[in-house]
């Protein structure tokens, strides 16, 4: 596969499947969406086929890239594990190549988003890029020397599951104290619900904004309220930003990237999140003052990064380190 021609990228999330035709410059020429049809692999395959037929009609599509939360084998052919879908050791690519009659690549969604930011977004030209996608959890990926670094078995980049607080909050991965329990949309929502359920006067505006129903608060709601000026919400985001910065300092100690790019839904908080992160990073980086330090930038491509990256990776898959 060369770099030329159009590719379709498909981003399979827990609730929706987004697809787009992506050109060589990372532009989306047309888009389509479906609800994620439950967790049955066959049903997901049917939706993928539908989307490719719809978008590919009248166009020459060279390849199809599929991004999803989860672990793909190094070869990009088999889903080892996907948290939101019932895929376990699923040879998705073989099935799909037969159905689509085109080369298909499976990619971890965070890897795909990082690739897109490196090729077309905030990470262009960086030889050691670390991308963090802050959504319900933390997605992580590295692009090193122009290749996605996926580790020995294809499952590198799970930065969100580094234990940063032994004995801390229980994580969906089963462990305790994972970074994503402190620096993610879910963490923000949880802390806001706890605050709103308390009798703190700090919580009154927050609670009023959700009609007194503390249990309905999500990270997205807190972000909205913070952007509208709510003090408690701003403090909650600041706290998440501080945890983010501490974790980035840990990653910088280990990986020494030139740049961190921060994407994902939580980034709509902008500087309310990133400024506290930068401060905490600067305060926690080991050897500060005696070393150059990575920058921290917001992602450029927004929620389409995953499908753009999946499409582009399918075009240049020979460049993915394996």
Element housing 48 (H / E)? helix 41-56
**Distance in angstroms (rounded) separating the CA atoms of residues 44 and 219:** 28
Max distance between CA atoms of the chain, in angstroms, equals 61
Nearer to a second copy, 196 or 244 (CB): 244
- Is 306 an interacting residue with respect to a second copy (CB under 8 A)? no
Verify binding: residue 161, a second copy, rule CB under 8 A. Answer: yes
125 binds a second copy (CB under 8 A): no
User: Among residues 229 and 287, whose Cβ is nearest to a second copy?
Assistant: 287
Among 115, 118, 120, 159, binds a second copy (CB under 8 A): 159
Q: Minimum distance between the CB of residue 268 and a second copy, rounded to whole angstroms? A: 26
* Contact between 81 and a second copy per CB under 8 A: yes
- The candidate with the shortest Cα–Cα distance to 117, out of 141, 91, 81, is 141
Of 37, 151, 197, 271, the one binding a second copy (CB under 8 A) is 151
> In angstroms, what is the minimal distance from the CB of 225 to a second copy?
27
The three-class DSSP label of residue 279 is helix
- Tally helices (H) and strands (E) across the chain: 9, 13
Shortest approach of a second copy to residue 135 CB, angstroms?
A: 17
Stretch of 34-42, 58-66, 220-228, 255-263 contacting a second copy, by CB under 8 A = 255-263
Smallest distance, a second copy to C-beta of residue 210, A: 30
Distance between CA atoms of 254 and 27, rounded to whole angstroms?
34
Closest distance to a second copy from the beta carbon of 285 (Å): 8
**Count of residues that bind a second copy according to CB under 8 A:** 50
- Alpha-carbon distance 161 to 163, whole Å? 6
Spatial distance between the Cα atoms of 111 and 131, rounded to a whole number of angstroms: 8
**In the complex, what is the shortest distance from the CB of residue 23 to a second copy, in angstroms, rounded to a whole number?**
30
275: Cα separation from own chain's centroid: 20
Give the Cα separation of 229 and 233 in Å (integer). 8
Regarding 84 and contact with a second copy (CB under 8 A), the answer is: no
Name the nearest CA neighbour of 21 among 317, 318, 314. 314
**DSSP labels, 6-24:** EEEEEEE-SSEEEEEEE-T
249 belongs to the binding site for a second copy (CB under 8 A): yes
d(CA 16, CA 281): 34
CB of 118: closest distance to a second copy in angstroms? Answer: 13
Q: List C-alpha distances in Å: 143 to 65, 131, 261, 266.
A: 18, 8, 11, 22
Contact by Cβ (8 Å): 178, 160: yes
| Interface with a second copy, residue 149, by CB under 8 A | yes
Q: Which position among 175, 218, 268, 297 is part of the footprint of a second copy (CB under 8 A)?
A: 175
Compute and round to an integer the Cα radius of gyration of the chain: 20
Residue 261 binds a second copy (CB under 8 A): no
CB of 156 to a second copy, least distance (A): 4
Per CB under 8 A, the list member of 194, 214, 255, 298 interacting with a second copy is: 255
Stretch that binds a second copy, among 40-48, 190-198, 222-230, 250-258 (CB under 8 A): 250-258
**Minimum CB distance to a second copy smaller for 109 or for 230:** 109
Q: List contacts with a second copy (CB under 8 A).
A: 71, 80-81, 88, 126-128, 140, 144-145, 149-159, 161-166, 171, 173-175, 178, 246, 249-251, 253-258, 284, 286-287, 290-292, 294, 321
């Amino acid at each position: 596969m060369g770099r030329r021609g159009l590719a379709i990228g498909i981003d399979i999330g827990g609730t929706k499947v987004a697809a787009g035709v992506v050109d060589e410059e990372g532009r989306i020429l047309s888009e389509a969406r479906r609800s994620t049809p439950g967790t049955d692999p066959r049903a997901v395959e049917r939706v993928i086929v539908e989307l490719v037929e719809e978008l590919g009609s009248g166009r020459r599509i060279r390849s199809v890239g599929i991004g999803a939360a989860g672990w793909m084998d190094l070869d990009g052919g088999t889903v080892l594990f996907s948290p939101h879908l019932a895929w376990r050791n699923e040879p998705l690519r073989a099935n799909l190549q037969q159905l689509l009659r085109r080369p298909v690549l499976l990619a971890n969604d965070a890897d795909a988003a990082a690739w897109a930011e490196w090729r077309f977004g905030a990470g262009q030209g960086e030889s050691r890029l670390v991308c963090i996608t802050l959504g319900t959890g933390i997605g992580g990926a590295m692009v090193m020397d122009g290749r996605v670094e996926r580790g020995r078995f294809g499952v590198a980049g799970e930065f969100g599951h580094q234990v940063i607080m032994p004995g801390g909050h229980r994580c969906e991965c089963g462990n305790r104290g994972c970074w994503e329990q402190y620096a993610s949309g879910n963490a923000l929502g949880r802390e806001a619900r706890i605050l709103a359920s308390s009798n703190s006067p700090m919580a009154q505006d927050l609670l009023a904004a959700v009609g007194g129903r503390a249990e309905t608060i999500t990270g997205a709601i807190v972000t909205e309220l913070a952007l509208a000026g709510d003090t408690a919400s701003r403090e909650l985001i600041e706290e998440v930003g501080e945890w983010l910065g501490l974790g980035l300092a840990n990653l910088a100690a280990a990986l020494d990237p030139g740049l961190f790019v921060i994407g994902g839904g939580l980034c709509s908080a902008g500087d309310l999140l990133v400024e506290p992160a930068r401060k905490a990073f600067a305060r926690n980086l080991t050897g500060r003052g005696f070393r150059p330090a990575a920058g921290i930038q917001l992602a450029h491509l927004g929620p389409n990064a995953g499908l753009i990256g999946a499409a582009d990776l399918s075009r240049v898959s020979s460049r993915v380190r394996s």
